[in-house]
């Protein structure tokens, strides 16, 4: 399966409207849905946030110029919220999955979809 198929599968659930797959370092985009691409500074702040959340705690996280309030962060997952929309970022052994859910979607439903894909990628060595 190509990397593009993973982002397509995320958006194909109807719970996520945008998705991207980056290298674990955040230095290269592997796949994206539509035009969902973060600015280099945005993906770098997320990549760094898995190991040191101080910047995200102080300034929030950003995607496509939108600021999200940090809800959760650990060495695997970072969740952000802006009004009724949200951002889910999950790091695997070699990738960072980033997905956006729109207004009207329950955060728990969206999170479960992204976390399950991350579990699958980890189980296959990625």
What is the per-residue pLDDT for 22? Answer: 97
Predicted model pTM: 0.94
Residue 85: CATH number of its domain: 3.30.450.30
User: Whole domain around residue 24: which residue ranges?
Assistant: 3-123
CA atoms of 63 and 76, how far apart (whole Å): 18
CB 93 within 8 A of CB 20: no
Judge whether residue 49 has pLDDT over 70.
yes
pLDDT given at position 34: 84
Instruction: Summarize pLDDT for 113-125 with one digit per residue, the tens.
Output: 999 999 999 999 9
pLDDT at site 1: 57
Mean pLDDT of the chain: 95
Q: How many domains does the chain have?
A: 1
């Amino acid at each position: 399966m190509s990397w593009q198929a993973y982002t397509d599968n995320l958006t194909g659930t109807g719970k996520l409207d945008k998705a991207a797959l980056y290298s674990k370092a955040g230095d290269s985009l592997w796949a994206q849905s539509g035009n969902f691409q973060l600015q280099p500074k945005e993906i770098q702040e997320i990549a760094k946030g898995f190991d040191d959340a101080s910047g995200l705690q102080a300034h929030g996280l950003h995607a496509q110029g939108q600021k999200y309030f940090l809800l959760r962060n650990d060495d695997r997952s970072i969740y952000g919220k802006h009004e009724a929309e949200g951002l889910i970022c999950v790091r695997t052994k070699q990738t960072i999955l980033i997905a956006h859910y729109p207004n009207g979607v329950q955060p728990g439903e969206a999170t479960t979809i992204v976390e399950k894909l991350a579990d699958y990628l980890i189980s296959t060595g990625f």
